[in-house]
Amino acid sequence: MTLIPRAAVLTVGGVALAALMSAQSADARDQIRIVGSSTVFPFSTVVAENFGKNTGMKTPVVESTGSGGGLKLFCAGVGPEHPDITNASRRIKQSEIDTCGKNGIEDIVEIKVGYDGIVLANSKAGQVMKLSEKQIFMALAKQVPVDGKLVDNPYERWSQIDASLPDVEIEVLGPPPTSGTRDAFVELAMRDGAKAFPMLKQLRKDKGKKAFRAVSDSMREDGRFIEAGENDNLIVQKLEANPNALGIFGFSFLDQNADKVRGSEVDGVAPTFENIAGGAYGISRSLFFYVKKAHVGVIPGIAEYVAEFTSERAAGEDGYLTDKGLIPLPAADLKKYQEDGARMTRLAGL
């Protein structure tokens, strides 16, 4: 397979680039390659399987690399050696758009597919957990305020944080920094939990967002928080083995494993389909995938795959993805992304 020189990628225009890729396509791929979020992975896999059955084209290859890892692969360049689509459980960052641009990727299509909640779940054999975002921060932050000072996290048992919590050791299994679930959990749970402390709110006011986030975003590294990789199914297995442990993952995995694990209430709200869809559950986020427009029409089936993913039968209120735990978009929003996908509307920037 002949690779596209990077210099060529940076200098040729979109039409010439498509022609260059078309010339290579016979020696390249006839199968869509998708990377990215472990949370979006099961939805993307089901869509890929339906696409393969219904179109007669090859079923796309879907890899779970994490949102950050997927975007890194996606933004590395244009050509059959690079992925066509990347899934993400957070929105693409401006820095990632800039990296794509530097590597010749000028046209990125953004498709929002639905919503997901981030849950703290434990085995049904364990105790029911009812947590606040403040308590979550106290359990997982590298440093916490104690008597007006920031100190290394001293809490070893949940009951040390609050007497109403179980008297068991803190052990939380969660995703690595490359995961969109980790990004969203930090943004939605840890930062809000940190804001519950007047001292940290004052830190943000006095020294700015960067100083505040150095505290709010830093997870403890003493074994109480354990990075368990991108495989959420593995976390579920570990929770079954240790009823006192909690795991952090997307609602879809809770929904698919409801016979084994249960989600914790956060600030008095349970992580249910209805609470996430209605906005009552605070730790929730949007799910996306991104398409490399230069590959459309060169790698067969990309437009058709996008149409399948955004169809009513897949992503609609009663679509087959809701059976997998996807919280659907409102009808008007779904229509917008159906149109963006059909037109391959370019993401202009953030």
| Non-local CB neighbours of 147 within 8 Å, separated by 6+ positions | none
> What 8-state DSSP symbol labels residue 322?
G
Domain with CATH 3.40.190.10 in the chain: 6-115+286-343, 117-284
Q: Provide mean pLDDT across the span 254-272.
A: 95
Whether 211 contacts 205, CB under 8 Å:
no
Q: Provide mean pLDDT across the span 208-228.
A: 96
pLDDT band at 281 (very low <50, low <70, confident <90, very high): very high
State the pLDDT at residue 29: 85
Q: Residue 85 above 70 pLDDT?
A: yes
Angle between helices 331-343 and 302-309 (to 10 degrees): 180
Per 3-state DSSP, the chain is made up of helix, strand and coil in percentages (nearest 5) of: 40, 20, 40
Q: Residue 16 above 80 pLDDT?
A: no
pLDDT digits (tens, 9 = 90+) for 299-323: 999 999 999 999 999 999 999 999 9
Q: Say how far residue 206 (Cα) sits from the centre of its chain.
A: 32
State the pLDDT at residue 232: 79
pLDDT digits (tens, 9 = 90+) for 130-173: 999 999 999 999 999 999 999 999 999 999 999 999 999 999 99
State the pLDDT at residue 13: 46
pLDDT digits (tens, 9 = 90+) for 30-49: 999 999 999 999 999 999 99
Q: In terms of Cα–Cα distance, which of 238, 281, 246, 284 is closest to 262?
A: 246
State the pLDDT at residue 178: 87
Whether 200 contacts 147, CB under 8 Å:
no
State the pLDDT at residue 233: 81
pLDDT band at 52 (very low <50, low <70, confident <90, very high): very high
> What 8-state DSSP symbol labels residue 190?
I
State the pLDDT at residue 21: 54
Token duo for residue 320: 């087959």
Q: Provide mean pLDDT across the span 194-222.
A: 96
| SS3 of residue 65 by DSSP | coil
Beta bridge partners of 284: 117
pLDDT band at 348 (very low <50, low <70, confident <90, very high): confident
pLDDT band at 9 (very low <50, low <70, confident <90, very high): very low
Whether 88 contacts 42, CB under 8 Å:
no
State the pLDDT at residue 231: 78
Q: Provide mean pLDDT across the span 209-238.
A: 92
Q: Which residue has the higher pLDDT, 28 or 7?
A: 28
State the pLDDT at residue 229: 77
State the pLDDT at residue 313: 97
Q: Residue 61 above 50 pLDDT?
A: yes
Q: Residue 14 above 70 pLDDT?
A: no
pLDDT digits (tens, 9 = 90+) for 165-188: 999 999 999 999 888 889 999 999
The CATH H-level (homologous superfamily) assignment of domain 6-115+286-343 is Periplasmic binding protein-like II (3.40.190.10)
Q: Residue 27 above 70 pLDDT?
A: no
Q: Residue 10 above 80 pLDDT?
A: no
**Residue 27, class by beta-carbon neighbours within 10 Å (0-12 exposed, 13-18 middle, 19+ buried)?**
exposed
State the pLDDT at residue 44: 98
Total residue length of the chain: 350
pLDDT above 70 covers a percentage of the chain that reads 91
Mean pLDDT of the chain: 91
Choose the CATH number for 117-284 among 3.20.20.70, 3.40.50.300, 3.90.79.10, 3.40.190.10.
3.40.190.10
Q: Provide mean pLDDT across the span 73-78.
A: 97
Q: Residue 8 above 70 pLDDT?
A: no
